[in-house]
Amino acid sequence: MPNIDPSTIDLDRTAHEHAAALRAGEYTSVQLTEATLARVKAQDAALNAYVTITDELALEQARAADARLTSGDATLLTGVPVAVKDLLSTKGVRTTASSRMLEDFVPVVDCTVVQRLNASGAVTIGKANLDEFAMGSSTEHSYFGPTHNPWDLERVPGGSSGGSAATVAARGVPLSLGTDTGGSIRQPAALCGILGLKPTYGRVSRWGVVAFASSLDQVGPFGRDAEDLADLIQAIAGDDPMDSTTSDLPVPDFKEGFDRGFDGLRVGVPAEFMEGGDEGVRDAVEAAIAAMEANGATIVRDITLPTAKAALPVYYIIAPSEASANLARYDGVKYGHAVTNGRSAEDEMSRSRGEGFGPEVKRRIMLGTYALSAGYFDAYYLKAQKVRTLIRRDLDTAFERCDVIASPTSPNVAFRLNEKLDDPYAMYLNDLYTIPVNIAGNPGISIPCGFSEGLPVGLQLVAPHFEESTLLAAAHAYEGITDWHRQAPPSLG
């Protein structure tokens, strides 16, 4: 074992830099894990990025990783610390969905993604905070309190995967996993100044992930550069017999285009994705597009997405409807928060749900139940599904003339805590540019592209279905001509 003080390890390194150092014997996974645990604990009083920090599990996995490194059986993630959104089931470690309803729930199995993460030899540092049941855009709707943005602790990190984004941005861990239903990976990545990838629907298994909206949810990675994202999705992607919605398409080498640059890349810029939002955000995104053009990309500005403006209302019919059905299982009988001293079974169920769910979850359950109710199903849910088809068709048509579509990830930079809590519509508008991608099932990525008001701005790139490699190659090329992804927030310990 290298005779070093774990506190001297450079935790600003990326995951692939840590992996190279581990293979070279500069330090062990146990030493790296000890240093990482010390940092995330020191930071968490300010950030509140974690619901649970898994000290014992992490060190056990780190010892196993060191054995694999010694035997030559290591993968690119062996020994590397990772945080996992507390929506992913973890055997023997509580999985709360940041809700009182599941405050004490401990799964008996790992979800498929965590199984694959464990098989890679990665080290799980903890379960990251989120908006309750992934319903929110700020990580303020958590039973365990809000997560703070490391760039400004008075601001939100985005949501719903805010804890996963904040801990990577703060250099707590180099990698994390989140879920994206309407922008819940890309939006917090943008607001925290890191990269986040929402894979194609069906690229990554959802088995064992606490369900929000089953036709929209996808698991995906956060990291500080494109190479790290590629390594993490390489480990978790692929068909899963436990999830009938996963694709049986072969999983490609997600770094296959990293030597391509921008030559030949056609970047579509639809006017519908550049309207509205903060001027500083638009300026940073336009500068990023200009930089890509100056380095060989072809910019296509006459594509159009006429139904994109309908994506927000479509989403807020489909997603709450699916949430209403998925959350019906939390009845105080089988598992989860339960009131047992009620006047009747109906009273106990009502009180269990009333106490177990927070206000945003209740709001979406009511919206969804209404949309699915007799007399309204055709007018709302069925019509939304028809418009969903048109949104996907418009994107498919646009991709006949371009390889990726560029836009802001979020219309604004990180807003102040409590600023939008009393205005759900203003909160929902934060996902204006990300929601169409979930509606259509396409992959999307957020890449740091500048600052506005001293806060990070994200560039969103969207690609045709199962073209994650195109997105990662474009992100890697952009990192080669800028250094926005290397910018770090003030140290928190």
Phi, psi of 87 (to 5 degrees): -115, -10
Q: What angle do CA 73, 75, 78 make, to 5 degrees?
A: 95
306-330 in b/e form (b: 16+ CB < 10 A) is: ebbebbbebbbbbbbbbbbbbbeeb
Concatenated DSSP letters of 148-182: -BTTBTTB---SSSHHHHHHHHTTS-SEEEEEESS
Both structure tokens of 144 = 């365990």
Of the candidates 382, 433, 439, 440, the residue with the CA atom closest to the CA atom of residue 411: 433
Number of neighbours of residue 204 by Cβ within 10 angstroms: 29
Sheet holding 195-198, edge to edge: 50-53, 123-128, 81-85, 175-180, 218-223, 195-198, 444-452, 455-462, 404-408, 266-268, 298-300
Cα 252 to Cα 249: distance, rounded to the nearest angstrom: 9
Asked if 223 contacts 238 with a C-beta cutoff of 8 angstroms, the reply is no
Q: What is the dihedral of CA 98, 102, 105, 110, to 10 degrees?
A: -60
Q: Which residues pair with 149 in a beta bridge?
A: 152
Collapse the DSSP code of 56 into the 3-class scheme (helix H, G, I; strand E, B; otherwise coil) and give the result: helix
Number of neighbours of residue 331 by Cβ within 10 angstroms: 17
Collapse the DSSP code of 10 into the 3-class scheme (helix H, G, I; strand E, B; otherwise coil) and give the result: coil
Cα 1 to Cα 268: distance, rounded to the nearest angstrom: 52
Separation in Å, CA 400 to CA 267, 278, 284, 358, 387: 12, 30, 27, 44, 20
List CB contacts of 83: < 8 A, sequence separation 6 or more: 40, 49, 50, 124, 125, 126, 127, 128, 163, 164, 167, 168, 172, 173, 175, 176, 177
Residues annotated as part of the active site = 85, 160, 184
